Amino acid sequence: MPDILNFLLRKDLSFEIPDPSVDNVEKNFESRRGPMPPVSLLEYVESIRRHSLDRTSPQHDRAASSGSSALPRHVSVGMGVKKAHEVSNLARYVDNLSSELSSKYSCQISHMVDFGSGQNYLGRALASPPYNKKVIALESKQLNIDGAKGMDVTAKLAKKEIMMRNKKQHRSELYGKHYTEKAAKTTPDNPSTSSYNQLPSRLEKCSMDQQSSIQYIETIIHDGNLSSMLTQVNTFRSPSTPDPSISSPLNLMVISLHSCGNLLHHGLRSLILNPTVRAVALVGCCYNLLTERLPALPGSPSSKLRAPNARLTETSSACDPHGFPMSNRFLKYKKAGREGIRFNITARMMAVQAPRNWTEEDCNSFFTRHFYRALFQRVLLDKGVIDSSNQTSGSGNINENEGTASGKQQKTKESIILGSLRKPAYASFLSYVRAAIAKLSASPSQSALVTQHLADLTDEEILSYEK
């Protein structure tokens, strides 16, 4: 698999053609790179590379990252070093993209719409100098919105709330009747304080500017349609239009830093579902949280090595019309009497990755780990530690089910939870199996089962699986 990725992503497929004859072309290619692949495959790879998005940052952006582009201290409040680096780079990229849209296409972006704003680190950076953007922060949790508003005050993007309380009434509510009676005896009547005594015990007023550079909207994003959200957006007047009745048109750019799961493709779809959305700038993450569009099918014993996870079960059985697969061709593909292509979680996570971000070393390490894991699973299956059933109950145990390794109906065995191993374990498949057996044998709940079935497993037998 690493060799295939190297061929698809990195290998230089260009070659000189000294003679138009096919034989010379093949000989020239073979002398430099080995056997020549089919011409149709070369054309396919070249087409994919030609249409791939440019993932390199402009040189001036990288230079700016070490200069004055660092976020001011009052704006980077709450951010770690990694978060501040990500926010500063994405904010600068978004500003450059906005300027390019304005200069090349005469499209002046009016608002930045942050999908899943969280603590609004990115939006706060864009709303602050030198960018001074209007930001609409969409967030599903009010607790995050409250925390973000507090940091907006620190960043000098919002005014501090004005607290006006009747202290006596407030304290009486806190400390009870005893405090009220004591206060009544010690405080003389004074007409000048009558208006003060009428103040409520709780927050009376919060000074908030309706034309603030950041507007928070508590909402759960179910798809890319923003029509319901747009009705809540505060319009603002352009400096060049003094007439209060004239508002600037909405030209939105959807942005997101670490948009989890479905948020990423909801953001992409917003570009075609909303005429007011002119551009998107998104950085996705947590691809394991993508929901499934098709109902789940009884699968392979892949879950036997995975700990029960309620969220994983929920996303894989969501039947979400906006979930995976988004391609109609995948959705309607028919094979062996079944319609639609379904991936397990590992395959689905890989399908939505950006392989060009993978280094050759990372690729080799990643595929080695997964190859060893899959091969070890085959060893467990052959030795009877697990069976081929994949039907689990809510508690994580395995129910009775037909389709076991022997083909007979029997109660399936409990899930085997392996977890991670130390780096030296991946030096070879033999060392991986021995490290995995040692770890499973140390588990009180799994040691008896592993010892019973794998005690007589020899090195030669292990190496035969790898061959």
| pLDDT tens digit sequence for 264-295 | 889 999 999 999 999 999 998 887 788 888 87
Residues 6+ apart with CB under 8 A from 312: 288, 306, 345
pLDDT bin (cut points 50, 70, 90) of residue 111 is: very high
What pLDDT was estimated at residue 248?
A: 65
Q: Is the pLDDT of residue 321 over 90?
A: no
What pLDDT was estimated at residue 41?
A: 86
Lowest mean pLDDT among 110-114, 318-322, 368-372, 407-411: 407-411
Per-residue pLDDT tens digits for 426-440: 999 999 999 999 998
Residues 6+ apart with CB under 8 A from 294: 319, 325, 331, 340, 342
**Residue 23: both structure tokens together:** 């034989």
What pLDDT was estimated at residue 32?
A: 53
pLDDT bin (cut points 50, 70, 90) of residue 92 is: very high
What pLDDT was estimated at residue 58?
A: 62
Q: Is the pLDDT of residue 425 over 80?
A: yes
pLDDT bin (cut points 50, 70, 90) of residue 133 is: very high
**Residue 361: both structure tokens together:** 């070393």
Distance in angstroms (rounded) separating the CA atoms of residues 30 and 45: 18
Residues 6+ apart with CB under 8 A from 285: 258, 259, 260
pLDDT, mean over the chain: 76
What pLDDT was estimated at residue 186?
A: 53
Distance in angstroms (rounded) separating the CA atoms of residues 315 and 319: 8
Per-residue pLDDT tens digits for 287-304: 778 888 887 665 544 445
- As a whole number, mean pLDDT of residues 251-256 equals 95
pLDDT above 70: percentage of residues in the chain:
70
* Local structure of residue 275 (DSSP, 8 states): T
Please classify residue 254 by burial: count the beta carbons closer than 10 Å to its beta carbon, then call 0-12 exposed, 13-18 middle and 19+ buried: buried
Residue corresponding to tokens 């590379």: 49
Q: Is the pLDDT of residue 60 over 80?
A: no
- As a whole number, mean pLDDT of residues 136-153 equals 92
Residue corresponding to tokens 């894989």: 316
Instruction: Determine the longest span between alpha carbons in the chain, in angstroms.
Output: 110
Higher pLDDT among residues 114 and 169, named by residue: 114
What pLDDT was estimated at residue 202?
A: 43
Closest CA to 365 of 311, 297, 421: 421
pTM for the full model? 0.65
What pLDDT was estimated at residue 14?
A: 67
Q: Is the pLDDT of residue 349 over 70?
A: yes
What pLDDT was estimated at residue 390?
A: 44
- As a whole number, mean pLDDT of residues 111-122 equals 94
Whether the upstream peptide bond of residue 130 has omega within 30° of 0, thus cis, is yes
What pLDDT was estimated at residue 137?
A: 94
- As a whole number, mean pLDDT of residues 135-153 equals 92
What pLDDT was estimated at residue 184?
A: 52
- As a whole number, mean pLDDT of residues 452-465 equals 90
What pLDDT was estimated at residue 125?
A: 95
What pLDDT was estimated at residue 57?
A: 64
Distance in angstroms (rounded) separating the CA atoms of residues 436 and 378: 13
What pLDDT was estimated at residue 170?
A: 73
What pLDDT was estimated at residue 191?
A: 44
- As a whole number, mean pLDDT of residues 221-247 equals 67
User: How far from each other are the two terminal CA atoms of the chain, in whole angstroms?
Assistant: 16
Residue corresponding to tokens 């009676």: 181
